[in-house]
Amino acid sequence: MTTADKLAHYVLPTYSQFPVAPVRGEGTLLWDGDGKRYLDFCSGLATCTLGHGENSLSRAISKQAGELIHCCNLYQIDQQAELARCLVEECLQLPGRVFFSNSGAESNDGLIKLARRFGHARPDIEGRARYEVITFHQSFHGRTLGGIAATGQDKVKEGFDPLLPGFRHLELNDLDSLAATIQPETCAILLEPIQGEGGIHLATREFLEGIGELCRDHDLLLLLDEVQCGLGRTGEMAGWRTIAPDLVPDAVSWAKGLGGGFPIGAFWISERIMANDKPLFSLMGTGSHGSTFGGNPLACTAGLTVLREVIDQELPQRALQHETSIRETIASWQHPALTEVRGKGLLLGVGLNFKAPEGEAPSIHLSRELANAGLLAPPAGPDIVRLMPPLTVSAAEIDEALEIFRQTLDRVST
């Protein structure tokens, strides 16, 4: 049986897959079992921050695996303590506390639980617990029951009702409608500063700063989902600072790029003092939350190694330089089948405008043809193909990828 046959027989078909089966990698490059070479501008969905193969991350994981893989949170884990310190002191530079999970959806569930606790601690004027979390259309917050309830896309919710109640989705960047619809039961606003899966849509600076003000005025929590845009990919360790440098959130979630491909998620809760003189993070005290695997020595070693490299090699700044050159190259094509380039740093979406055969979405069609031609660049929605290589990508690799992109686009769009 081939890989594809076994997958078809034994694995739930929750993903529609491309016919690509990588077995080995080196930096930005992947190879399949037949030796076909790919430039990886997918990075395992914005995850393989440092690229593939033998590198500081694979060495650190191997070494740690030989010393201690797991011991659980009943005991003290030094790598967890150090990774939390690095996230607080070096990445955010905002005081608070971190909880470690294993994925992005789990981290967002943690933010939702915080919002519920906050709503109990700070009820409405009638003394009723507040519970509503406002999120935005085209958002993506993960596939748990909490995550799909929070996500502003119908397709992830189909057939799973009754959903977790207490969510409302509004238009991104429409501050007036947001201000007009805050209700007594509202307790938090959750958003991706740069929406990833929903098609690379950026919150504007005015919108983020306006949300910050609304949260102060209405005693709401400002929750940022930085699972995809955080930790350097979009040009800052705190992703929202590429848009609104002075915004101060109450809690932030991470996953994807944090482990460089090793599964780890985390969320941070601010130390800001609430009306009862207690810090916000005290709402999530002993026994309030947990994870068997979360924060284990192996995962935290991966996270620490990734963050050390990203910070020390100044990869966020490099991501911004690469963005500039990618935008210049694509603009110089003046290609009639392209609409725009959206995004920040190395989280970019290229807008497509051509007719694909047999009613297929242009993004899926182009992604498949790009893969055939040796470039992995995943779709996001029907009209966007994403460019999100490892942050260690070289300028020469970007040039090669864009040349494949242009030639393939020429072929499929005429």
Ligand X SMILES: *Cc1c(COP(=O)(O)O)cnc(C)c1O
What is the nearest approach in angstroms of ligand X to the Cβ of residue 110? 12
Member of 116, 117, 130, 141 binding ligand X (CB under 6 A)? 141
* 196 lines the binding site for ligand X (CB under 6 A): yes
Question: In 252-388, which ranges are continuous DSSP H helix?
Answer: 297-312, 315-333, 362-372
What is the nearest approach in angstroms of ligand X to the Cβ of residue 103? 3
Member of 43, 55, 80, 103 binding ligand X (CB under 6 A)? 103
Member of 61, 149, 190, 227 binding ligand X (CB under 6 A)? 227
What is the nearest approach in angstroms of ligand X to the Cβ of residue 224? 10
What is the nearest approach in angstroms of ligand X to the Cβ of residue 141? 5
d(CA 171, CA 136): 6
Are 345 and 202 contacting, i.e. CB atoms less than 8 angstroms apart? no
- The residue (of 14 and 286) whose beta carbon lies closer to ligand X is 14
What is the nearest approach in angstroms of ligand X to the Cβ of residue 252? 11
Q: Which helix (H) or strand (E) holds 27?
A: none
Q: Return the range that interacts with ligand X (CB under 6 A); candidates 17-25, 139-147, 289-297, 319-327.
A: 139-147
**Residue in the structure block whose two tokens are 């995962």:** 299
Are 308 and 315 contacting, i.e. CB atoms less than 8 angstroms apart? no
User: Residue 207 burial (CB < 10 Å; 0-12/13-18/19+)?
Assistant: buried
Member of 140, 240, 268, 281 binding ligand X (CB under 6 A)? 140
Q: How far are the Cα atoms of 124, 220, 269, 284 from residue 128, in angstroms, in the given order?
A: 5, 15, 24, 20
* 225 lines the binding site for ligand X (CB under 6 A): yes
Binding mask 253-292 for ligand X (x = CB under 6 A): --xx------------------------------------
What is the nearest approach in angstroms of ligand X to the Cβ of residue 255? 4
Member of 192, 236, 309, 397 binding ligand X (CB under 6 A)? 192
Are 354 and 412 contacting, i.e. CB atoms less than 8 angstroms apart? yes
Rg (alpha carbons) of the chain, rounded to whole number: 21
Q: Return the range that interacts with ligand X (CB under 6 A); candidates 101-109, 242-250, 274-282, 353-361.
A: 101-109
Question: In 11-50, which ranges are continuous DSSP H helix?
Answer: 43-46
Say whether 176 sits in a helix, a strand or coil: helix
Burial 91-122 (b: 16+ CB within 10 A, else e): bbebebbbbbbbbbbbbbbbbbbbbbbbbebb
What is the nearest approach in angstroms of ligand X to the Cβ of residue 337? 27
Member of 58, 79, 80, 228 binding ligand X (CB under 6 A)? 228
DSSP label of 128 = P
What is the nearest approach in angstroms of ligand X to the Cβ of residue 17? 16
Q: How many angstroms separate the first and last alpha carbons of the chain?
A: 38
Q: Return the range that interacts with ligand X (CB under 6 A); candidates 100-108, 289-297, 298-306, 382-390.
A: 100-108
Are 40 and 391 contacting, i.e. CB atoms less than 8 angstroms apart? no
* 109 lines the binding site for ligand X (CB under 6 A): no
Question: Per DSSP, what are the bridge partners of residue 369?
Answer: none
Member of 25, 142, 235, 349 binding ligand X (CB under 6 A)? 142
- The residue (of 167 and 412) whose beta carbon lies closer to ligand X is 167
- Cα 160 to the center of its chain, rounded Å: 23
What is the nearest approach in angstroms of ligand X to the Cβ of residue 23? 23
Amino acid at 300: C
Q: Return the range that interacts with ligand X (CB under 6 A); candidates 16-24, 129-137, 225-233, 337-345.
A: 225-233
Which residues contact ligand X by CB under 6 A? 103-105, 108, 140-142, 192, 196-197, 225, 227-228, 255-256
